[in-house]
Chains A and B, each alone.
Chain A
C-alpha cells in the first residue's frame, strides 16, 4: 500500500501540489495523466524523496516519510528507496559500467547480495527485457529503447514492491516506444505494482487499473480507465482528452 494524503508542495509562492491524496493498492497499476506542468512528475518524485514536500503524509507500507529534512527523513528514504524503484525519462544508466554491471550495482553494493547470485538474477532480468545479448555493452552504444529496457531491469533487480515510471517513453521514437511499452505491459500482467506518469494513452487505457487526471496541482478526476476515457466526469478530463487526441 502506498498512501499519499493531502500533499502540498510550493516553489517559492507558487503551489505545485495543492493537497493531493492518492492510494495505490498492492498489485495495482496506477497511471497519472494530465497536461504538462500539472505536477505529475513532481508528485511521483516526492514518493521516493527526489523532491521534498511541505506538508501532508506519505506512507509506503509501514514506513512514513516525514516532510521535514533531518535524520528521520533520511532513515525513511533509505527504506523506501529499497522498496520503490524508479525509471527515468532520460534512462540515467551509469555510462562507466557495462549493461550487466548497471543491473548488479545496487544488489551487490546496497543489498549486499553475493556477486554470483546477483549476476545470475541480473542475466535473468536482462533476458526478460530482451537485452541479455547486450550484457557486456556500454550504455552509450545502445539505442534509447534498449537503454530504457536495461534501466527497467536495473530497477527490477532490487525486487521493488512498486516501480515509479517517470515519462519512460517521452525521449523515445514510436518504434522503440513500443518495445518499452511491451515490457511494461508484461510487468503489469505479472502483478508488478507501478505508478506511471506517461503520455501513452493506449497504455493507460489497456493496462491501468486506476487513472488519475492531475491538473494545476490537484487531482481532477480518478477512476478506472473505462470511466476516464469513455465517460469522463469533469470538464478538465474532457479538455485534456480532446487535446491529447489532436
Chain B
C-alpha cells in the first residue's frame, strides 16, 4: 500500500481526460459534426454572415458618414433574413474568395456577398433562390477608340491579345474565358474597384474590365475615364450560400427571400441602391428537395448549345489524388513564376541594400540621413502596402512627371520592384553589420597602400563583408520565396495564387495544398542546404 497516494491521483487525472477532450471537440469546426445549424443560430441569437467590405459597394461597404458602421444592400438583406429567423445579423469580415472556406470551417453561417450561382458551387454548397439577378457590363477606356464592341475584344492590338481585368474566380472570369476561347488575356484582381482602377490607368496593359453591373452603377461616377461598351451580358444569379448539410437553414433563407419578394421589401431595398430593373422579373424560384436553387437554365449559358457545353465542362469532383495529375502541371508552372520573381528580386534587393549600407556608413550626412530613413520606412511598412502603392501610385506619379508619355509599370515589374525594395532594407542592415565587423586595420592597410576609399571598399572591405553576409542573406532569400505569395494582390499569379484558384475550383484543398507545400519545400530546401554549407565554410575559414 506504499503507492496508495499515487494511484488515486493518476485515476483522478484519467477521469479529467474526457472533460479535457470534450473541450477541444466543442470548438471543432461545426461542419464535421451532425448538427443543426438553424437550431444553433437560434440558440446563439445571431446569424453570422460573411462578406468582404473591401471595395464592396453597393454590396457591403463602410458607411461614408460613419465608417465604423456598414451599409449596402447585402447588409439590409442579412438583417431581413436574420429577422425572419428571429435573430440578429452579425457581420464577419473575410477575404472575398476565401469566404466559402471560412464557412466550411464553421466560422460563419452563410455567405452573402455577390456570389453567383454556378454548377460547381451547386455541387459543393447549399445555394439559395436568387436575391438578385445580375448582369455583367464591359467597360473600356473613353480614350480608346479601337474598342467599341465585344467583337473588338477579339482583335489583337500591337500584336498582343486584348487584356480584360476581372475579379478572380467570378462569373465575369468564366464569361471572358468562354467568349475569348484563349484569344483574350485575363488580369485577375481581388477587389472590384482595383480592377476598374487598373483599367482606367492601363496598368499591366489592361484594355477593358468586365464588371458586375451593380458595381458599375454604384461606382461609375468615380471612373470618368471608363465607359460602358455594348449591352449588359452574362445574366446570372446572386445567391446565399450555406454548407450543404445545413438544409434547414437553406430552406429558411429561401422562405425569407420569397417573403421579401412577395411583400415588396426586396424591391424596396434594391430600389434604394438603384439596382431594381426589369431583369429582376426573370427570377427563377425552383429548388430541389434540399432547398438548393435549380438555376442551370439561363445561368451563364445563353443558348442551348452553350448550355450543353457548360454542362460538359461542369464540375467534376476530382476527388483523391488524381487531381494532382490533372492540375499539378499548372501549379508547377506557377512555381516557375515564384522562382522568377525571387531570382530577379533578390539580387536587386542585395544591390540596393549594399548601396544603402555604404551610404549609411561612408556617405556624407545629406546621404546618411535619408538612407537611414529609407531603411526605417521600408522595414516599418508591410510588403502588401508597398506593392499596392507601387502598382497603383507609381503610374500616377510617372504620369504627373511626364504627362502624355503613357509611362506605366506592369504587374510583374511592380512585384519585382516591391519585393526588391522591401528586402533591400533588411539586406542593407545585414550588410551594414557585415561591413562594420571587418577589422578597422583592413581599411587602414588598404589606405596605407594608396587606395582611395572607394577602391578599398570595392576590393577589400565589401568582398570580405559579402562572405560574412551570405548565410543570413540566403536565409532572407528563403523568406522572399514565400513572400512572393503576397504579389497576388497585384494580379501576379504565382504558386500560392494558383493553388487558391485550383483548390477552389477542384475542391481539393488538402491534396493540392500538400503538393503546393511540397513545391515550396523543393524550392527552399536546397537554399537551406546552401546556407548550412556557407556557414560551415565561413567558420572553417575563420578557424584557420
> Does residue B530 face the partner (Cβ distance < 8 Å to A)?
no
Whether A96 and B467, one on each chain, are in contact in the complex, defined by CB atoms closer than 8 angstroms, is yes
* Distance (whole angstroms) from the CB of A93 to the closest CB of chain B: 8
Complex CA gap A50/B449 in Å reads: 12
Interface positions of A from 54 to 84, Cβ below 8 Å from B: 78, 81-82
Whether A138 and B449, one on each chain, are in contact in the complex, defined by CB atoms closer than 8 angstroms, is no
- What are the residues of chain B within 8 A of A141 when measuring CB–CB? 544
Among B444, B450, B451, B542: residue with most chain A CB under 10 A: B450
Complex CA gap A72/B455 in Å reads: 19
- What are the residues of chain A within 8 A of B544 when measuring CB–CB? 138, 140-141
10 pairs, A vs B, C-beta closer than 8 Å: A78-B450, A81-B450, A93-B445, A94-B460, A94-B464, A96-B467, A105-B459, A105-B460, A110-B451, A155-B449
Whether A50 and B450, one on each chain, are in contact in the complex, defined by CB atoms closer than 8 angstroms, is no
> Does residue B347 face the partner (Cβ distance < 8 Å to A)?
no
> Does residue B265 face the partner (Cβ distance < 8 Å to A)?
no
- What are the residues of chain A within 8 A of B444 when measuring CB–CB? 50, 86, 88, 92
Chain B contacts to A: CB under 8 angstroms: 439, 441-442, 444-452, 455, 459-460, 463-464, 467, 541-542, 544
Complex CA gap A141/B541 in Å reads: 9
Q: Which 9 A-B pairs have the closest CB atoms?
A: A92-B445, A106-B449, A92-B441, A86-B448, A82-B450, A81-B450, A110-B450, A140-B544, A96-B464
Complex CA gap A96/B458 in Å reads: 13
Complex CA gap A158/B449 in Å reads: 7
Complex CA gap A72/B5 in Å reads: 90
Complex CA gap A140/B542 in Å reads: 8
Complex CA gap A140/B459 in Å reads: 18
> Does residue A90 face the partner (Cβ distance < 8 Å to B)?
yes
Number of A residues with CB within 8 Å of any CB on chain B: 28
* Distance (whole angstroms) from the CB of B128 to the closest CB of chain A: 70
> Does residue A85 face the partner (Cβ distance < 8 Å to B)?
yes
Whether A96 and B448, one on each chain, are in contact in the complex, defined by CB atoms closer than 8 angstroms, is no
A90 with B441, Cβ < 8 A, contacts A138-B544, A140-B544 known? yes
* Distance (whole angstroms) from the CB of B465 to the closest CB of chain A: 10
Whether B451 and A106, one on each chain, are in contact in the complex, defined by CB atoms closer than 8 angstroms, is yes
- What are the residues of chain A within 8 A of B450 when measuring CB–CB? 78, 81-82, 106, 110-111, 158
Whether B445 and A88, one on each chain, are in contact in the complex, defined by CB atoms closer than 8 angstroms, is yes
> Does residue A109 face the partner (Cβ distance < 8 Å to B)?
yes
* Distance (whole angstroms) from the CB of B87 to the closest CB of chain A: 72
- What are the residues of chain A within 8 A of B541 when measuring CB–CB? 95, 140
- What are the residues of chain A within 8 A of B439 when measuring CB–CB? 90, 92
Apart from A81-B448, A109-B455, A154-B449, 5 more pairs, CB < 8 Å: A92-B442, A94-B442, A96-B463, A140-B542, A164-B448
Flag A45-57 by CB within 8 Å of B: 1 or 0 each.
0001110000000
Complex CA gap A120/B276 in Å reads: 92
Whether B441 and A48, one on each chain, are in contact in the complex, defined by CB atoms closer than 8 angstroms, is no
Interface positions of A from 121 to 178, Cβ below 8 Å from B: 138, 140-141, 151, 154-155, 158, 164
Interface positions of A from 189 to 216, Cβ below 8 Å from B: none
Complex CA gap A141/B448 in Å reads: 24
* A88 interface neighbour in B441, B452, B460, B464, Cβ under 8 Å: B441
* Distance (whole angstroms) from the CB of B365 to the closest CB of chain A: 14
Whether A85 and B464, one on each chain, are in contact in the complex, defined by CB atoms closer than 8 angstroms, is no
* Distance (whole angstroms) from the CB of A173 to the closest CB of chain B: 19
Interface positions of A from 86 to 109, Cβ below 8 Å from B: 86, 88, 90, 92-96, 105-106, 109
Q: Considering only CB atoms, which chain A residue lies closest to B449 in the complex?
A: A106
- What are the residues of chain A within 8 A of B455 when measuring CB–CB? 109-110
Q: Considering only CB atoms, which chain A residue lies closest to B445 in the complex?
A: A92
Complex CA gap A93/B439 in Å reads: 11
- What are the residues of chain B within 8 A of A106 when measuring CB–CB? 449-451
* Distance (whole angstroms) from the CB of B437 to the closest CB of chain A: 13
Whether A110 and B441, one on each chain, are in contact in the complex, defined by CB atoms closer than 8 angstroms, is no
Complex CA gap A31/B182 in Å reads: 86
Complex CA gap A92/B448 in Å reads: 11
Complex CA gap A140/B445 in Å reads: 16
Complex CA gap A155/B439 in Å reads: 19
Whether A50 and B448, one on each chain, are in contact in the complex, defined by CB atoms closer than 8 angstroms, is yes
Whether A81 and B467, one on each chain, are in contact in the complex, defined by CB atoms closer than 8 angstroms, is no
A105 with B464, Cβ < 8 A, contacts A50-B444, A141-B544 known? no
- What are the residues of chain B within 8 A of A138 when measuring CB–CB? 544
Complex CA gap A109/B459 in Å reads: 9
- What are the residues of chain A within 8 A of B445 when measuring CB–CB? 86, 88, 92-94, 151
Q: Considering only CB atoms, which chain A residue lies closest to B541 in the complex?
A: A140
- What are the residues of chain B within 8 A of A48 when measuring CB–CB? 448
- What are the residues of chain A within 8 A of B464 when measuring CB–CB? 94-96
Complex CA gap A86/B448 in Å reads: 6
A85 with B448, Cβ < 8 A, contacts A90-B441, A96-B464, A140-B544 known? yes
Complex CA gap A78/B541 in Å reads: 33
- What are the residues of chain B within 8 A of A82 when measuring CB–CB? 450
- What are the residues of chain B within 8 A of A164 when measuring CB–CB? 448
- What are the residues of chain B within 8 A of A49 when measuring CB–CB? 447
Q: Considering only CB atoms, which chain B residue lies closest to A157 in the complex?
A: B449
Complex CA gap A18/B544 in Å reads: 43
* Distance (whole angstroms) from the CB of B434 to the closest CB of chain A: 13
Among B441, B463, B542: residue with most chain A CB under 10 A: B441
A78 with B452, Cβ < 8 A, contacts A95-B464, A109-B459, A138-B544 known? yes
Q: Considering only CB atoms, which chain B residue lies closest to A94 in the complex?
A: B460
Complex CA gap A155/B447 in Å reads: 12
* Distance (whole angstroms) from the CB of B469 to the closest CB of chain A: 13
Complex CA gap A5/B459 in Å reads: 35
Complex CA gap A50/B456 in Å reads: 14
Complex CA gap A81/B452 in Å reads: 10
Whether A50 and B447, one on each chain, are in contact in the complex, defined by CB atoms closer than 8 angstroms, is yes
- What are the residues of chain A within 8 A of B446 when measuring CB–CB? 94
